[in-house]
Structure formats: structure tokens, C-alpha cells
Structure 1
Amino acid sequence: MFASKGAQVLRAFSALNGRTAIQNSVRNSGHACNYRCAGPPAHPKVIMAAEFVGGFAWWWVLWHLWTEPGHITGEFEFPDASKWTNQELGIPEE
């Protein structure tokens, strides 16, 4: 609703000024527009750099999972809850 009223207001102001209120401008962005189509192919150096960075990242993650699993699994043994007493669990004695 606001958009339709706004368009009417713009038309009214443009009629007062004697010129159109909405003007189309040329975008000089310096690159091709890729709307609903594939972009230009990447440079081979960019592809090689991306492959190298991705490979290094996977190596870093897998190496640290292999050599330092404590970051994922924890550094200490998980306690066995079946061995806890009622007092440790906070259960009152009857």
C-alpha cells in the first residue's frame, strides 16, 4: 500500500517540476553482469590457490584430530555414574 501511494506522490511531484521523477541511470561498475548465467571462468592461478588453501585447511584439521583428539573427545575419562553413591548424587537417606 505504501509503495503505491509513494508512486502517486512521485508522479505528482514530477508533474509539478515538469520532469520525470524516476530516472534510469547507467551502472558503470567495470565488470560484466551475470544475471541467471554462469560467471566468467576463473583464472587458473586463482583455482590453484583455492585448491591449495582448501587442501591445507583439511590437512590442518585432520592432522590435529589425529595428533590431539582431546580437543574433541575431552582430556579426562568420563566418570561412571553407576558407581556414585546416594550422598554424591544428593539423594537424601530415608
Structure 2
Amino acid sequence: MLISKGVATLKALQKLRSNPIQLKQSVRNSSAGWNYRVGPPPPSKTVVLAAEIVQGFAWWWVLWHLWTEPGHVFGEFEYPDPSKWTNAELGIPED
């Protein structure tokens, strides 16, 4: 097993030696511009408008459902008063 790994490593090193340019260049597969120590370019007006529309719809959805169905967030029933619970309900043995 060690010999097979060594042979594969030697073949890879031989390929790298035959083409030394590959050691110095990196492949970039991105389509965006490269910014170094500067801010990114501003988004287009279409992107800003689409973001505003999606954000407005999301806030409308949340606020509408809080207004019309508050039980999903706050619960559907009143919280019981703990001072009215009996010892039997709480599992406390008799004295």
C-alpha cells in the first residue's frame, strides 16, 4: 500500500515539474470583479427594487399574521394562576 501511494505521489510531482506555470497561477472561476481594500460595487437599481419588494412582502406577512392570528405567538389560552393550584395537582404529599 505504501508503494502504491508513493508511485502516485511521484507521478503527480513529475507532472508539476513538467509544467511549472501551474504552480504560480491559480484558476478563478468566478464571474464577479475582484475588490482589494475597496468597497464592492453598488448593486443595480433592479436588485435594490427587488430586495425592497421582497422585504416589504415579508414584513407584511409577519405583521398581518401577528394581527389576525396572535395565538400562534402568544398562545391561545390564558396562563393559569399558580396560586389556585392544589397540593394534589402539584404532586405534593399530604402533611
Say whether residues 1:83 and 2:84 are aligned partners. yes
TM-score by length of 1: 0.70
Identical amino acids, percent of aligned pairs: 61
Counterpart residue number, 1:22 = 23
Cα shift readout 1:15-68 (whole Å, capped 9, x = no counterpart)? xx5875832235363331023211122111111010010011011101111111
RMSD over aligned Cα, in angstroms? 2.2
Structure 1: distance between partners of 2:73 and 2:46: 35
Aligned pair count? Answer: 80
- Code of the residue aligned with 1:50 in structure 2: it is A
Structure 2: distance between partners of 1:82 and 1:28: 67
SS of residue in 1 equivalent to 2:24? coil
Counterpart residue number, 1:37 = 38
Judged with a 3 Å threshold, the aligned counterparts in structure 2 of structure 1 residues 54 and 90 are, in CA distance, closer, same or farther, namely same
